[in-house]
Amino acid sequence: MARPLILVSNDDGITAPGIRTLVEVAKEIGEVVVVAPDGPQSGMGHAITIGNTLRLDRSIAFDDMGIEAYECSGTPADCVKLAKHHVLKDRKPDLVVSGINHGSNSSISVLYSGTMSAAIEAAIEGLPSIGFSLCDYGHEADFSHTRPFVKQLIEQALKHRIPENTALNVNFPKRSNEAIKGIKVCRQAHAKWQEEFDERLDPRNRRYFWMTGSFVNFDKGEDTDEWALVNNYISVVPCQFDMTAHHNIAILNEGWEL
């Protein structure tokens, strides 16, 4: 029986520790092909390359594991497009996984995330997909505790199939002395980044800005991804790319003079 074909991508770049963890786990389950950015692409959202050249080269990043891998000059969404239509043009992946991202992609961060954009691009292309993120921005972030849960979620996705037009947004709590309590299927919390812009001067005395700020959670619900993560659960949020506010169609039709 043929092993499932799993496409792996990310936004931190093909040499990031998170993608190596993800590839190692995926390799236990199926045949793995990697198409990932050649450098960091965090915060790119769903950007695609339309005015510049796109380069795609074989990578040696996973030669030690015998994994076919390619590095791309474009965005995470570009990587998935090239993988489907060029690298794997005669084959259809059974699952696309993205990550493991170095930092949280819960709540509103899903809109900015290159990790999740790779997963959502796969869903747009009709491929089941999962984006994995670890809520740890530290330079020496430890991904080891995610391994059994990544394997469990990949196996469940292959066995039961992810609903059509849906990508799963999975976030892991930072490793701590407390064991992870389990996995919760959640909704996206109503929260946002409250940005501030620090005005500075460069060595030539020219003004520039550095974006800072803090994360503000307005949501008191106990069914959200933010609640799950704070309480040491893994959050799983099913995401869709149809951004229509369906419940507001009637309001506009009935209340506006159109």
| Cα-to-chain-centroid distance, residue 57 | 22
42 is in an annotated binding site: yes
11 is in an annotated binding site: yes
Which residues make Cβ contacts (< 8 Å) with residue 74, sequence separation at least 6? 37, 48, 49, 54, 82
> From the centroid of its chain, how far is CA 132?
5
Dist CA 12 CA 19 (whole Å):
8
Peptide bond into 124 cis (omega under 30): no
Element (H, E) at 236: strand 234-240
Task: State the distance between the two ends of the chain, measured CA to CA, in whole angstroms.
Answer: 58
CA angle 240, 158, 108 (to 5 degrees): 25
Q: Which residues are annotated as a binding site?
A: 11-12, 42, 101
Q: Which residues are annotated as a binding site for a divalent metal cation?
A: 11-12, 42, 101
